[in-house]
Amino acid sequence: MPYRARFGRKMECVSLPPLSNFAICGGTHGNELTGVYILREMQKHNVEKVGSVSITTVLSNPRAVDACRRYTDRDLNRCFTDDLLSSPITESTPYELRRAQELNAHLGPKGSEEAVDLLCDMHNTTSNMGLCIIFNSADWLILHICKYLQSKITSMPVRALQMDLPLSEAFSVDSLGKHGFSFEIGPQPHGVLRADVFNTMKEAVDLTIEWLQQFNSGRTFEGGEVEAYTRWKTVHYPRDPTTDEITAAIHPQLQDNDFKLLQPGDPIFLSLSGETVKHEGDALYPVFVNECAYYEQKIAYHLTQKSTLTLPSINVKKD
Ligand SMILES: [Zn+2]
């Protein structure tokens, strides 16, 4: 596996540079309202520095937020690959691609020394995912933040989801930071603000800032284990071969059962004429089950593998 770090054996304490610059983004998808309102609150209270940490708040896609839509021309959170960030801007360049390059100049450049130390992007899902921390490749620092949030947050399950992509192919805004991840919380309908989801997101952001301060002030975070789900494959809806229209819905027994092991033979779809479609192949964990935003690509859910990652202790490098 192309991990950035090596897992699976006891390691000594690893010292990492301090994390002075923290960027928090929301409204990357304009109809995912929790992040938009968290940012407004932070901006209203001029949250720019907490102890040793400078905080930059960024409304990623203001045009989509104004329209309360996921995006206007194309999905902003798929625009941060190396290829797209270096593509020439012309009159016909979609708004979101221009915006991605602006954000890269502001928060990155991606992969450079000038990039923000940590970038966290706030999302919502219509799926029953609880609080999910999504990152591109295994990173001890992010896994330590996951472990910290898991030990503190009790209002929802807290899980780690790894995309397993090399940095050049990582397409999400959080890939601009030296370290980056997304908070994905649901279920919440897009265009809607729920207090329970807002409170958990707020708690997760506050705890992340608290963790950064403790890390910068010299606390050693003990190693241990974190369970992580790794994206494995995508499952599409059954479709009419002639019209390409969806012909089945998520089966009631799968609906709301994100992260519950799907065994061969378990029902996955209920066709509109009443037939049950069953899961075939390996037992895997479904995520993003019946996510509203994935209908345009006719994606029903993703399947993941669960593994346990062993982390070293970490602390800040002193010079
Ligand atoms: Zn989103």
Q: Would residue 110 count as lying in a domain?
A: yes
Q: What is the mean pLDDT of residues 71-86?
A: 98
Query: Are 193 and 217 found together in one domain?
Result: yes
* Whether 172 and 217 share a structural domain: yes
> How far does the centroid of ligand 1 lie from the alpha carbon of residue 216, in Å?
30
Distance (Å) of CA 109 to CA 19, 78, 180, 234, 241: 17, 16, 13, 30, 44
- Would the CA dihedral through 105, 107, 108, 114 be positive or negative? positive
291 is in an annotated binding site: no
The answer on 270 and 206 residing in a single domain is no
For residue 5, being part of any structural domain is answered with no
Once rounded to an integer, what is the mean pLDDT over residues 248-260?
A: 98
Q: Write out pLDDT tens, residues 81-121.
A: 999 999 999 999 999 999 999 999 999 999 999 999 999 99
Say yes or no: 245 and 103 in one domain: no
- Return the half-sphere exposure (C-beta side, CA atoms, 13 A cut-off) of residue 177: 27
Count of structural domains, the chain: 2
**pLDDT beyond 50 at 216:** yes
CA neighbor of 50 nearest in space, from 24, 77, 79: 24
The average pLDDT across 142-153 equals: 98
In a domain, 82, yes or no: yes
Instruction: State in Å, rounded, how far the first CA of the chain is from the last one.
Output: 33
- How close is the Cα of 185 to the center of ligand 1, in Å? 9
Residue 31 lies in a domain: yes
- Tell whether 44 and 109 lie within a shared domain: yes
Same domain? 151 vs 259: no
List Cβ neighbours of 166 (8 Å cut-off, separation of 6 or more).
Answer: 2, 137
Q: Are residues 45 and 184 in the same domain?
A: yes
The answer to whether 304 and 284 are in contact (CB under 8 A) is yes
Question: What per-residue confidence (pLDDT) applies to 12?
Answer: 83
Within a domain: 247: yes
- 7-11, 74-78, 153-157: which range is least confident on average? 7-11
Instruction: Check which CATH number belongs to the domain holding 284 and give it.
Output: 2.20.25.160
The answer to whether residues 257 and 118 belong to one domain is no
Across the beta sheet with 21-26, the strand order is 49-50, 53-59, 21-26, 118-124, 179-186, 130-135, 158-162, 224-236, 299-311, 285-287
Asked if 35 contacts 77 with a C-beta cutoff of 8 angstroms, the reply is: no
What residue numbers bound the domain in which 267 lies? 238-304
The answer to whether the annotation marks 29 as part of a ligand binding site is yes
Question: Distance between CA atoms of 231 and 239, rounded to whole angstroms?
Answer: 23
| Position 8 in a domain | no
pLDDT above 90 (res 2): no
| Structural domain includes residue 2 | no
Same domain, 32 and 178: yes
- Give 157 Cα–ligand 1 centroid separation in angstroms: 19
* CA 32–ligand 1 middle distance (angstroms): 6
- Say whether both 48 and 157 belong to one domain: yes
> What CATH number has the domain bearing residue 27?
3.40.630.10
Residue 114 among known ligand-binding residues: no
| Residue 167 forms part of a structural domain | yes
Tell me: do 95 and 171 sit in the same domain.
Answer: yes
Ligand 1 centroid–CA 236 distance in Å is 19
Give residue 3's pLDDT: 43
Residue 6 near residue 140, CB atoms below 8 Å = no
67/208 same-domain check: yes
Of 230, 220, 250, 212, the closest CA to residue 159 belongs to: 230
> With 50 as the cut, is the pLDDT of residue 67 above it?
yes
Residue 303 has pLDDT above 80, yes or no: yes
**Model confidence at 11: pLDDT above 80:** no
Active-site residue list: 184
